[in-house]
């Protein structure tokens, strides 16, 4: 790993994550760390915080079922009826507790960024926005829409407009595929497009 990457988050944290997720996910996580840091710098946010949240955003993605059950029970995590049917969402809701317990993270903005990185949330803060965009557009994402967002990041665009474009792509994909859409994504769409 090059030095610039290492300096974005404590080496111990990076190493620990490497032992908790599969290789592809680890590489993706490092990509999100770097991208979230870059986005934060562009918009005058706390780069270290964004980098840490980016690194840890998928920390619950490869949890063993027994460990996941432990976190659900301990933190009384409740899944609404739609979430129950979207397994890809679960790691977001468990991730904040894994980050807390396994990595000693207590920062509210970092935990929120982890929690909201998949479905989004109308009330997400600035660091969460950076991670939401970075998760979709980090350098290892090869699909066309992620390349499009990467190009947009380099233009004179606002952070909220970037968030809106990512959300639009995500919702369009879900509709195209006939998949469920979580209410947090719908609320976010209404907020970012109609300020309601
Ligand atoms: Fe994720
Ligand atoms: Fe991710």
**pLDDT tens string 114-159:** 999 999 999 999 999 999 999 999 999 999 999 999 999 999 999 9
N-term to C-term CA, the chain: 44
The answer to whether residue 2 scores a pLDDT higher than 60 is no
Identify which ligand lies nearest to the alpha carbon of 135: 2
Architecture category of domain 3-194 in CATH: Orthogonal Bundle (1.10)
Residue 37 exposure: Cα atoms within 13 Å on the Cβ side: 18
pLDDT (tens digit per residue) in 57-72: 999 999 999 999 999 9
Identify which ligand lies nearest to the alpha carbon of 26: 2
Rounded Cα–Cα distance for residues 196 and 44 (Å): 26
Structural domain boundaries in the chain: 3-194
pLDDT (tens digit per residue) in 38-54: 999 999 999 999 999 99
Neighbours of ion ligand 2 (CB under 5 A): 58, 135
Residue 149 exposure: Cα atoms within 13 Å on the Cβ side: 30
Ligand 1 center from residue 105 Cα (angstroms): 18
Identify which ligand lies nearest to the alpha carbon of 88: 1
Residue 148 exposure: Cα atoms within 13 Å on the Cβ side: 9
Ligand 1 center from residue 190 Cα (angstroms): 23
182, 86 Cβ separation under 8 angstroms: yes
124 DSSP assignment: -
């Amino acid at each position: 790993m090059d030095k610039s990457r290492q300096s974005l988050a404590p080496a111990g944290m990076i190493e620990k994550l490497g032992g908790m997720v599969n290789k592809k996910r680890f590489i993706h996580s490092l990509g999100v760390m770097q991208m979230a840091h870059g986005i934060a710098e562009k918009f005058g946010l706390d780069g270290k915080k964004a980098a840490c949240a980016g690194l840890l955003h998928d920390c619950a993605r490869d949890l063993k079922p027994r460990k996941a059950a432990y976190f659900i029970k301990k933190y009384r995590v409740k899944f609404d009826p739609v979430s129950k049917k979207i397994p890809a969402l679960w790691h977001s809701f468990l991730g904040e507790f894994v980050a807390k317990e396994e990595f000693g993270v207590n920062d509210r903005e970092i935990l929120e960024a982890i929690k909201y990185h998949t479905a989004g949330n109308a009330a997400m803060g600035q660091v969460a926005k950076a991670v939401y965009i970075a998760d979709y557009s980090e350098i290892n994402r090869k699909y066309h829409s992620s390349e499009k967002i990467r190009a947009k990041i380099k233009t004179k665009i606002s952070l909220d407009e970037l968030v809106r474009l990512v959300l639009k792509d995500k919702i369009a994909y879900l509709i195209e595929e006939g998949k469920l859409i979580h209410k947090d994504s719908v609320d976010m769409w209404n907020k970012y497009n109609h300020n309601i």
